[in-house]
Amino acid sequence: MSDELDEIQAIFFEECVEGLATAEAGLSEMAAGDASAEVIAGVFRAVHSIKGGSGAFGHTALLTFSHRFENVLDEVRAGAIPPTAEVVKVMLGAFDILSDHVAAAREQSAPPADESVLGALDDLLANKGAGASAPPAAAAPPPAPATSPAAPSAAVPDGDEFGFVPVAAAVEEFDPFGFEPVAVSLDEVVELDPSDWTVRFGPSREALANGGEPILVIRELERLGGRVERVDGSSLPDLRDLDPENSYFVWTLSVPGSVAETEIAECFDFVAPDSLIEIVRTEAAAPAVRIEPALPEPAPLALVAEEIITVHAPPVAEAPPAPVPAPAPAIEPTPAAPAGERSERASDQPSQTIRVDLSKLDQLLNLVGELVIRGSILADRLSPADQERVELPQLSRLTRQIQDSVMSLRAQPIKQAFSRVPRMLRDLSAETGKQVVLDVAGETTEVDKSVIEKIGDPLTHMIRNAVDHGIEPPEERIAKGKPAEGIVHVSAEQKGARILVRVSDNGRGIDRARVKAKAIEKGIVAPDAQLSDEEIDQLICAPGFSTAETISNISGRGVGMDVVRSNVEALGGRVEISSVPGEGTAFTMILPLTLAILDGMVVRLAGQRYVLPLASVVESVRPEPGQVQRATPTSEVIELRGSYLPVRRLTDFFGLGRGLEHRPEDCLVIVVESDTAGLVGLMVDTIDDRREVVLKSLDQNLHPIRGLGGATILGDGSIALILDVEAIVSASSPTSKHNLKGLAA
């Protein structure tokens, strides 16, 4: 029992996280001035879902808070409270507390202090919503029909059209959750469009006890274009027999036939299981569908709480019966929309998704990798004629396609990593007294899940750094003739096989003289070192470096940028810093798109096979005698079409024996292009092959080794190590862990 409940709770918290993201995105849009009915309704729905689940799981503090937050949102949605900047600010504050409440419920820790925020919310209700301080219910106009993408423009009833009469004064008194009185008409019967859905809903006693509010379910249905056709109050007992905590009504609604059944069913997600819920086609022939509510997705039982990702599935063929147009289409990955607003909107639509345990995807990926390997073993053993005869090429093509599909399953919008940024900035801004505006771009850029997971920490440090060191206090900014508000841009874009994640600010820029002085003081560089601007900027990432004169709460401990650099390097990426004094600083993380598959060149070093990522290979050269020359006793260059490139002997780099006495003309020089050192020649014994390899991490069971990006399993089942070109060319000596200068310098 408790295991099962835990699993369902885990799903609930996953949904809370999604709900919070939706709410935050909506609130940010409102803050940016877009307070359309759609946006407000999205925020409302998100908070409402959190409330519904929290009631069901007995998270009282979360329930109470979300309920009061929801009350305000409801008024905003109804237009009783105008969404002014001030109101949005209060709601953003409430959102932060809501996040804390969710975290507290999840960790079973003490709920956050929410009195001041609740007070602010109550003030909003009392002042702005003066006209609606009485329970709103039927008096509130129904939400704008525009929120329902699937609904035809027809048939959103005006609430009063049915001559609603409030019933049961007692309802107001017993209600601990602020139930609104429900207005019903007992005798209205309306002709139904034959193809419409008929939905019957009779909440159970338990549904009410869990904090479910029938009116919200009905509003949800109304938003889909539904209308209340009649309310059956026939089971209503005499007043003296009335159990004030029970529900006696059964609502019958008609919902346009164009709405997918799943959309209707979703309205009942948080309704207790023993409630009456029927969804039937009005053409009497269609069988009644009795749905099991309350468990949004009972299927994936073996869920691991933290490791769930949502996968977009194509519209499911067997979903709704009969002539319904395809349900809301799955969201296609859109190429980096300018501000990501559109996709935000799209994600409000119920998309066809399933939740999959991430470890299952990883297992699938591993198996596909094995399949690829087995395929190449087969190819190795069969002659080309035999390969054709057994249709091996077709099989290989299919395998490749499967591999691509699995990879795409793991691709997720980078939005997930960006989601905690707005909150962080608000907190930072409050702590430092600096005024900061966030500008996010490219959040729909898709990246492998593994990358998203690992850029969270670096991103946090970069943003802290931008606010703490970059953005000036308002007075200083005004004195410099800048707007008082600083801007932090966070953006992501795909460039070839790389993802660029950039955090930039329009603050004071890097004070290079001070950085250099500090580095000399800390013994990081020699006092007489001649450093270029870029090299000085890179010093920020040196371990133990910090210029903050007083150690602030936020950064200044001298670990931040060092962590950024090492995390990013561990991902096979690098950090670029550019800064203009007085104008701002930009930190760019350049990351590989995926960590899992790589196009590689198989080379031999001292008889052993290594894989060189093809992305960095420019050309390969068989040197003529004399073409490779010694520049210094320990370094060599190759003369290539008139220019000289540094050459590294990989056997030396890895200490595999065979030193300089080995003749270059017996080897191959592979020219690689590196980010840090430009063109460099790498000397290898031979080239074996070119193939796609599945990257296996070494540090899963080992630790990272400098110069190696991982390992892969070759066609014969043996292991080949993957070379990390950047690490090799940037290491001036094999042992230097933190060298700051590239070879080009």
Partner 1 sequence: MSATDSGERKIVTFSLGDRMFGIDMRTLIEIREWEAPTPLPKVPAYIKGVANLRGTVIPIVGLAERLGWEPSVPHARSCILVVSIGGKQAGFLVDEVADIVLIKGSEIQPAPEIEIDEPGVIAGLVQVGARDHDDAANEAGSMVLLLDLDSLNVIRQMELAA
- Cβ 652 to partner 1, closest distance in Å? 11
- Cβ 65 to partner 1, closest distance in Å? 37
- Cβ 719 to partner 1, closest distance in Å? 4
| H-helix or E-strand spanning residue 723 | strand 719-723
Q: Which is nearer to partner 1, 483 or 607 (CB)?
A: 607
Q: Which two tokens stand for residue 35?
A: 């307070």
Taking Cα atoms as reference points, which of 373, 376, 368, 414 lies closest to residue 393? 376
Return the DSSP state at 143.
P
Q: Which is nearer to partner 1, 208 or 720 (CB)?
A: 720
- Cβ 692 to partner 1, closest distance in Å? 16
- What is the C-alpha separation between 690 and 670, in angstroms, rounded? 13
Q: What are phi and psi of 160, to 5 degrees?
A: -90, -10
The answer to whether 519 and 539 are in contact (CB under 8 A) is yes
- What is the C-alpha separation between 341 and 347, in angstroms, rounded? 10
Q: Which is nearer to partner 1, 319 or 660 (CB)?
A: 660
Residues contacting residue 226 through CB under 8 Å, at least 6 positions apart: 197, 199, 218, 253, 254, 255, 256, 259, 264
CA 109 to chain centre: 25
Q: Which is nearer to partner 1, 578 or 697 (CB)?
A: 697
- Cβ 696 to partner 1, closest distance in Å? 5
- Cβ 711 to partner 1, closest distance in Å? 5
Q: Which is nearer to partner 1, 6 or 370 (CB)?
A: 370
Q: Which is nearer to partner 1, 536 or 693 (CB)?
A: 693
Q: Which is nearer to partner 1, 369 or 509 (CB)?
A: 369
Secondary structure (H, E, C), 391-433? CHHHHHHHHHHHHHHHHHHHEEECHHHHCCHHHHHHHHHHHHC
- Cβ 367 to partner 1, closest distance in Å? 8
- What is the C-alpha separation between 427 and 96, in angstroms, rounded? 9
Q: Which two tokens stand for residue 738?
A: 């933190």
Q: Which is nearer to partner 1, 460 or 697 (CB)?
A: 697
Total Cβ atoms within 10 A of residue 125: 18
- Cβ 704 to partner 1, closest distance in Å? 8
- Cβ 366 to partner 1, closest distance in Å? 5
Return the DSSP state at 468.
I
Q: Which is nearer to partner 1, 56 or 670 (CB)?
A: 670
Q: What are phi and psi of 502, to 5 degrees?
A: -120, 135
558-561-565 Cα angle (round to 5):
135
Tell me whether strands 289-290 and 276-281 are parallel, antiparallel or unpaired. antiparallel
Q: Which two tokens stand for residue 598?
A: 């790589």
- What is the C-alpha separation between 344 and 24, in angstroms, rounded? 11
Q: Which is nearer to partner 1, 188 or 688 (CB)?
A: 688
Residues contacting residue 474 through CB under 8 Å, at least 6 positions apart: 433, 434, 435, 484, 485
Q: Which is nearer to partner 1, 303 or 721 (CB)?
A: 721
- What is the C-alpha separation between 364 and 403, in angstroms, rounded? 9
Residues paired with 609 in a beta bridge:
604
Q: Which two tokens stand for residue 371?
A: 């399949």
- Cβ 607 to partner 1, closest distance in Å? 10
The answer to whether 340 and 443 are in contact (CB under 8 A) is yes
Binding site for partner 1 (CB under 8 A): 366, 369-370, 608, 654-656, 696-698, 700-703, 705-708, 710-711, 713, 717-721, 734
| H-helix or E-strand spanning residue 5 | helix 2-31
Q: Which is nearer to partner 1, 123 or 699 (CB)?
A: 699
- What is the C-alpha separation between 119 and 110, in angstroms, rounded? 20
Q: Which is nearer to partner 1, 275 or 712 (CB)?
A: 712
**C-alpha dihedral, 118 to 121 to 122 to 124, nearest 10°:** 160
- Cβ 392 to partner 1, closest distance in Å? 22
Q: Which is nearer to partner 1, 442 or 709 (CB)?
A: 709
- Cβ 375 to partner 1, closest distance in Å? 14
Q: Which is nearer to partner 1, 234 or 700 (CB)?
A: 700
Q: Which two tokens stand for residue 627?
A: 């073409």
Taking Cα atoms as reference points, which of 362, 745, 350, 299 lies closest to residue 531? 745
Q: Kindly give the residue spans of alpha helices, DSSP state H, lying in 286-391.
A: 341-346, 358-381, 384-389
- Cβ 563 to partner 1, closest distance in Å? 17
- Cβ 560 to partner 1, closest distance in Å? 22
- What is the C-alpha separation between 187 and 207, in angstroms, rounded? 26
- Cβ 656 to partner 1, closest distance in Å? 6
* Residue whose token pair is 């933290």: 306
- Cβ 733 to partner 1, closest distance in Å? 12
The answer to whether 723 and 602 are in contact (CB under 8 A) is no
Q: What are phi and psi of 722, to 5 degrees?
A: -100, 130
Residues contacting residue 70 through CB under 8 Å, at least 6 positions apart: 44, 47, 48, 51
Q: Which is nearer to partner 1, 31 or 723 (CB)?
A: 723
- What is the C-alpha separation between 4 and 294, in angstroms, rounded? 13
Q: Which is nearer to partner 1, 367 or 478 (CB)?
A: 367
Tell me whether strands 686-694 and 678-684 are parallel, antiparallel or unpaired. unpaired
- Cβ 694 to partner 1, closest distance in Å? 8
